[in-house]
Amino acid sequence: MTINRRVFLGTSVALTASLAAPMIARAQATPRVVVVGGGSGGATAARYIARDGAGAIDVTLIEPQRVYHTCYFGNLYLGGFFNYDDLGHTYKGLASNYGVNVVHDWAVGVDRDAKTVTLASGASVAYDKLVLSPGIDFIDGSVPGWSVSAQSRMPHAYKGGTQVELLRAQIAAMPQGGVFAMVAPPNPYRCPPGPYERISMVAHYLRQNNPTAKILLVDPKETFSKQGLFQDGWERHYSGMITRIGPDMGGAVVEVDPAAMTVSIDGVAEKVDVCNVIPGQRAGQIAFAAGITDGNWAPVSAYDMTSKVDADITVLGDAAAQGAMPKSGFSANSQAKVAANAIVSALTGSRAFPARYSNTCWSLLDTDDGIKVGATYEASADGIVAVDNFVSQVGEAADVRAATYRESLDWYKAITSDMFV
Amino acid sequence: MIKMRSILGAFSFAVLAAATSPALAEGDPAQGETLFRPCRACHMIGEGAVHRVGPHLNGIVDRAIGMAPGYAFSDVLAAAGAEGRVWTEGSLDRYMAGPADYFPGTRMVFRGVRSETDRQHLIAYMLAAGGRSEAGAQIAETAIDPEIAAILDIAGDVAYGEYLSSECTACHRDAGGSDIPSIRGLAPSVFIAGMVAYRNGTREHQVMNTVARRLGDEELAALAAYFADAK
């Protein structure tokens, strides 16, 4: 085991290795936490466990990407409100400020009896507590005709990074008067307002650059998050541009042909110029490899986010079946802090406090027209339940909407600091 | 008005104090009362006014800057008062135009009143509602709001406060943002007054009202103790 640890430590950045050196010397006595996935859940958990453990806990973060691009605010990049580079964040702060061992590799397996995680490189990492925060993967066959192999023709752009860049390039290359289509996902999925904010941002871009273009939204759901607010915004800002086909009009009976660039709705094929397919979703693959899923997600205790299958495994964010919280970066960040407190307490005997969660999802409709929805939550035996909530109202004053948007910009800086700095 | 504007831009306080008298005649207390409504989120004025998030504003005109007893002022305002500076109509006008521009380091989270006319209405209202301070005749200092005083009396559990603070840091950066301020280092009286106002709904903000409504007195005391010491 010690040999394995040295091997993978050697592959991480030099700075990390030098800071981690004292930890190697006392590794046998120091409890080990391994975090898989460096997004809102995993990065926050690694940061808080390392910070609050204050050297008494050895924290390893396994994340294949060196630069993490947030999924949230990717829509603002599509609309031209945010720079792509500003979506990117590195793990240098976690390594240098908190001594987290950052390992850029894929976690491919979990041996729950031996308490080890297997990496794609072949190395094996031992843990006392394992945190899985792998985000989402897509359900095969969710949208007939679409598979991951078609994602360059019909991007999902529903994980941060290159897919979002690709979608932006395709929108920019649309012919004048062309058609942008989106196939929206069925519930439950990451970021409930996300597809509809994206429609707003694509409409904003097209209104400026391609005003005769049309947007076709094919949606299998009867209703969606902040629906009244979005539809009011679309009518005010993009009247006549957006057509939504709900399940009553065949929106749930959809098939795509990436080669022909067609979307068939209830058997009628439409030729489109860009097709953003956001398929049905499930927990990231490592949750299945670990054998802790039930259906598409990994059920957890609402009190500390530990797996209902294995108490030494914590599941955060989108991958967890936890109850009432939406799958969002804000939720994952909130859950990670509750879990970090529980893990540090279990490993060091420090004080544990009751679980309390919160979430806010901001969306941008058009320039200076921001809306938000959010809630506070607590734990119950039946899962996480809402305590209180709020949502923007139709007809709010322009200055309220502008302030909501500006606050979302401040939030973005704050949450990414809370994860990485 | 045009003349006023150029004077305001060019001259010092002493000149301003003298020069603003004619302009004050133009300020309408009734319009000022309407304009003052959003200020009430933080400031009380008139009969029974006490310190809230911000200090009460009775006798604000000609009152020593940053000296009202019972309120924890920012260092910059306290220092101005220690130098003997007072709130004249002119300095109030400058401050209300952009608090952080006039007194960098002030804790007053407010962008400012752009319209000079509106500022004159506000000053006229504050004079009408809260009077002018006179040497030796300052309006008697009132006690701190009892709800806030009760929370200030609780010995805050700093470790609990640190845990609870993680809910705040998802949006409040230490460095502060343009619209979401830093809350690190706030004096407990300021922090608690602010949160009580959000909890009661006297200060309105959808997110903060929702967050504050589930914070009990113990939680507020713990958070205040943590943020006061947090570096």
pLDDT of residue B98: 87
Number of H helices, E strands in chain A: 11, 24
pLDDT of residue B110: 86
A130 CB-near residues (< 8 Å, 6+ apart)? A33, A34, A36, A110, A115, A117, A290, A312, A313, A314
Strands A179-183 and A274-277: parallel
Taking every pair of C-alpha atoms in chain A, what is the biggest distance, in angstroms? 67
pLDDT of residue B76: 82
Nearest chain B residue to A417, by CA: B173
DSSP state of B67: -
Query: Of A351, A374, A415, which is closest to B207 when you measure between CB atoms?
Result: A374
Q: Please indicate whether, in this complex, the C-beta atoms of B177 and A330 are within 8 angstroms of each other.
A: no
The verdict on B173 touching A (C-beta cutoff 8 Å) is yes
CA distances from A360 to A246, A332, A404, B184, B211 (A): 26, 11, 11, 21, 11
From the centroid of its chain, how far is CA A311?
A: 24
| Helix pair B13-26, B89-97: axis angle to 10 deg | 90
pLDDT of residue B25: 53
Element (H, E) at A218: strand A214-218
The verdict on B205 touching A (C-beta cutoff 8 Å) is no
How many inter-chain contacts (A to B, CB under 8 Å) are there?
Answer: 80
pLDDT of residue A173: 98
pLDDT of residue A195: 98
Beta bridge partners of A274: A180
The verdict on A415 touching B (C-beta cutoff 8 Å) is yes
CA distance A245 to A268: 13
Nearest chain B residue to A338, by CA: B163
- pTM for the whole thing? 0.78
Residues of B with CB below 8 A from A330's CB? 170
Chain B contact probe: residue of A44, A325, A356 with most B CBs at under 10 A:
A356
B216 vs chain A: nearest CA distance in angstroms? 13
The verdict on B60 touching A (C-beta cutoff 8 Å) is no
Sheet holding A214-218, edge to edge: A242-245, A214-218, A179-183, A274-277
A39 CB-near residues (< 8 Å, 6+ apart)? A68, A70, A133, A135, A317, A329, A332
Chain B contact probe: residue of A48, A305, A334, A358 with most B CBs at under 10 A:
A358
Residues of A with CB below 8 A from B178's CB? 406, 409-410
Amino acid at A240: G
The total of other beta-carbon atoms located within 10 Å of residue B3's CB is 10
A151: which 2 tokens? 């994602």
B152 CB-near residues (< 8 Å, 6+ apart)? B144, B188, B189, B192, B221, B224
pLDDT tens by residue, B180-198: 988 988 878 889 989 999 9
pLDDT of residue A306: 98
Block residue for tokens 């969306």: A363
Q: Is B182 exposed, middle or buried (0-12, 13-18, 19+ CB in 10 A)?
A: middle
Residues of A with CB below 8 A from B211's CB? 358, 376
Residue B5 pLDDT class (50, 70, 90 cuts)? very low
CA distance A377 to A299: 17
CA distance A326 to B194: 29
Query: Of B163, B173, B178, which is closest to A417 when you measure between CB atoms?
Result: B173
Task: Yes or no: say if A363 and A203 are a contact pair by the CB < 8 Å rule.
Answer: no
Chain B contact probe: residue of A70, A388, A392, A393 with most B CBs at under 10 A:
A388
Q: Is B30 exposed, middle or buried (0-12, 13-18, 19+ CB in 10 A)?
A: exposed
The verdict on A414 touching B (C-beta cutoff 8 Å) is yes
Q: Please indicate whether, in this complex, the C-beta atoms of A414 and B177 are within 8 angstroms of each other.
A: yes
Sheet holding A116-119, edge to edge: A107-111, A116-119, A124-126
Alpha helices in chain B (DSSP H): 2-10, 13-26, 29-36, 75-82, 89-97, 99-102, 116-130, 146-152, 158-168, 188-200, 206-213, 217-229
Short-list A281, A87, A57, CA closest to A190: A281
Residues of B with CB below 8 A from A400's CB? none
B221 vs chain A: nearest CA distance in angstroms? 16
pLDDT of residue A14: 41
State the average pLDDT for chain B.
Answer: 82
Query: Of A358, A388, A417, which is closest to B167 when you measure between CB atoms?
Result: A358
B178 vs chain A: nearest CA distance in angstroms? 7
B60 CB-near residues (< 8 Å, 6+ apart)? B45, B87, B92, B126, B130, B133
Higher-pLDDT residue of A242 and B145 is A242
pLDDT of residue B20: 42
Residues of B with CB below 8 A from A360's CB? 171, 207
Quote the ipTM score. 0.89
Residues of A with CB below 8 A from B213's CB? 376, 388
Residues of A with CB below 8 A from B209's CB? 390
Query: Of A388, A392, A403, which is closest to B179 when you measure between CB atoms?
Result: A403
A28: which 2 tokens? 């046998």
Nearest chain B residue to A415, by CA: B170
pLDDT of residue B83: 67
Residue B142 pLDDT class (50, 70, 90 cuts)? very low
The verdict on B163 touching A (C-beta cutoff 8 Å) is yes
Mean pLDDT (10-residue bins), chain A, 421 residues:
40 42 52 98 98 97 97 98 97 98 98 98 97 97 96 97 97 98 98 98 98 98 96 98 96 96 95 98 98 98 98 98 98 98 97 98 98 98 97 96 97 98 96
B1 vs chain A: nearest CA distance in angstroms? 27
Backbone region of residue A271 per phi and psi (left: phi > 0; alpha: psi in -120 to 50; beta: other values): beta
